[in-house]
Amino acid sequence: MTEGQLTLEELRRRVEEFLADHAPSATERTEFLRARYDAGLAWVHFPAGQGGLGLPQAWQSEVNTAFDQAGAPDNNPRANAIGLGMAAPTILAFGTEQQKERFLRPLWTGEETWCQLFSEPGAGSDLAGLSTRAMRDGEDWVINGQKVWTSVAHRARFAILIARTDPELPKHRGLTYFVCDMTAPGVEVRPLRQITGEAEFNEVFLNDVRIPDTQRLGEIGQGWQVATATLNNERVAISGKTSGRGEGLIGVVAKTWRDHPERRTPELHDRLLRLWVEAEVARLTGQRMRQKLAQGQPGPEGAAMKLTFARLNQQLSGLELEMLGDDGLRYSDWTMVRPDRVDFTGRDAGYRYLRAKGNSIEGGTSEILRNIVAERVLGLPAEPRVDKDVPWKDLAK
């Protein structure tokens, strides 16, 4: 703890004083959230004036618990997971003071939802091969291209966007990172209906979209470094959620086992016990990862956690369908809706099974994440990359 920094006990008193001055039952929701941000009790590890107090990140859970116990409104984190889990830490790390002042407060309060314009039809796993172009025009950049698999783009106010600014350079070096206004002329959002029948995702077309240079994050050509920080945070956001022992999908599947004794077999029992142990190992590993994150930016450990999350979800949802027998083939509703969030525990088994198929794609495919773990964690030889030093314009498209 640095000189002048609050102690944990002083932080507790500050939370108590805030709640005494802003009774949740008597304060309008948005007003309450804005006041909490201004008091530095939004992200306590962020700097003062930017929603925080410069305190250890590990103390955030105690602050959240105190607000929850007081019946305070939250900022609906599931509905703005991309903003909170990915955009905010990227803006904090690479944004100017003016950008932090403009974007962080309404992002945290939920007044402005964010989406991510990274993947393209021809650049998913090989994100650095993207072809969306950004060309300088005075104080603006003019963007043209197509993005895909964009969650909540249909209701997002802003997007984090990576585009190619110099095709003469190798693919990783000619990229720049921007904040895109999703209400700007030339932004077109179309739904993508998925296997669940819903449309969480979208394809986004960018036709001569103008972005002021003041909405560039990082230096020109630094886009890959900024995007890497975002992706590390994304994997943590997807796989690093706090849960108690026996909670989440493993708890749902264990309940199905208890509720259907007629479906029990030694083979299913053995698989359930193995997955219970693996889920508990993943939970405890996640706790260790969050403790490490409190000391700095996420690294490749998020890739390992995301790998485990995807595999467990798919194996557990498949086991649940086997336990349910014919009932597991039922699907309650095929209506085309646009949900605000993914809900694995509040839906039926058919939804869980189908939706889990996307877990090994979103946030980086499992194949790419295995490369990351192999090279950056285990220190194995790198995969040959013959296009590493070839200008992007000369690559086969």
Q: Give the E-state strand segments of 45-132 in sequence order.
A: 114-117
Residue 288 has a CB neighbour count (10 Å cut-off) of: 11
Distance in angstroms (rounded) separating the CA atoms of residues 348 and 344: 8
Cβ neighbours of residue 53 closer than 8 Å, sequence gap 6 or more: 5, 6, 11, 40, 41, 44
Q: What angle do CA 337, 146, 385 make, to 5 degrees?
A: 115
Structure tokens at 163: 């585009």
Q: Supply angle C-alpha 111, 115, 118, rounded to 5.
A: 160
Local structure of 254: helix, strand or coil:
helix
Beta pairing, strands 201-212 & 175-181: unpaired
What letter represents residue 396's amino acid?
A: A
- How far is residue 153's CA from residue 132's CA, in Å, rounded to a whole number? 17
Spatial distance between the Cα atoms of 152 and 81, rounded to a whole number of angstroms: 10
What is the spatial distance between Cα 72 and Cα 76, in angstroms, rounded to a whole number? Answer: 12
Nearest to 201 by CA among 119, 286, 316: 119
**Residues 393 and 264 sit within 8 Å (Cβ to Cβ):** no
Residue 47 tokens read as 């700097």
> Of residues 198, 203, 234, 301, which has the active-site annotation?
234
3-state secondary structure 292-357: HHCCCCCCCHHHHHHHHHHHHHHHHHHHHHHHHHHHHHCCCCCCCCCCCCCCCCCCCHHHHHHHHH
- Note the pTM of the prediction, 2 decimals: 0.88
Mapped onto helix, strand or coil, the DSSP state of residue 77 is helix
- The span from the CA of 282 to the CA of 44, in Å, is 26
Taking only the tens of pLDDT, the chain with its 397 residues reads 444 589 999 999 999 999 999 999 999 999 999 999 999 999 999 999 999 999 988 899 899 999 999 999 999 998 899 999 999 999 999 999 999 999 999 999 999 999 999 999 999 888 999 999 999 999 999 999 999 999 999 999 999 999 999 999 999 999 999 999 999 999 999 999 999 999 988 999 999 999 999 999 999 999 999 999 898 777 666 655 656 788 889 999 999 999 999 999 999 999 999 999 999 998 888 777 766 665 555 566 677 888 898 999 999 999 999 999 988 888 877 888 888 777 888 889 999 999 999 999 887 788 888 988 888 878 899 888 888 889 999 998 7
The topology (CATH level 3) of 227-377 is: Butyryl-CoA Dehydrogenase, subunit A; domain 3 (1.20.140)
CA–CA dist 13, 63 (Å, integer): 11
- Asked about 234 being catalytic, the answer comes back as yes
Name, in order, each residue with C-beta under 8 angstroms of 37's C-beta and a sequence gap of 6 or more: 51, 105, 108, 109
| Number of residues in the chain | 397
| Phi and psi angles of residue 282, each rounded to the nearest 5 degrees, phi first | -65, -40
CB-based burial, 131-143: b 16+ in 10 Å, e otherwise = bbbbeeeeebbbb
pLDDT at 3: 46
Non-local CB neighbours of 20 within 8 Å, separated by 6+ positions:
none
Q: What is the pLDDT of residue 98?
A: 97
Contact partners, residue 213, CB within 8 Å, separation at least 6: 136, 139, 140, 141
Contact 151, 116 (CB under 8 A): yes
pLDDT at 328: 87
Residue 282: is it exposed, middle or buried by C-beta count within 10 angstroms (0-12/13-18/19+)? buried
201-212 and 216-217: which strand pairing? unpaired
Domain boundaries, the chain: 1-74, 227-377
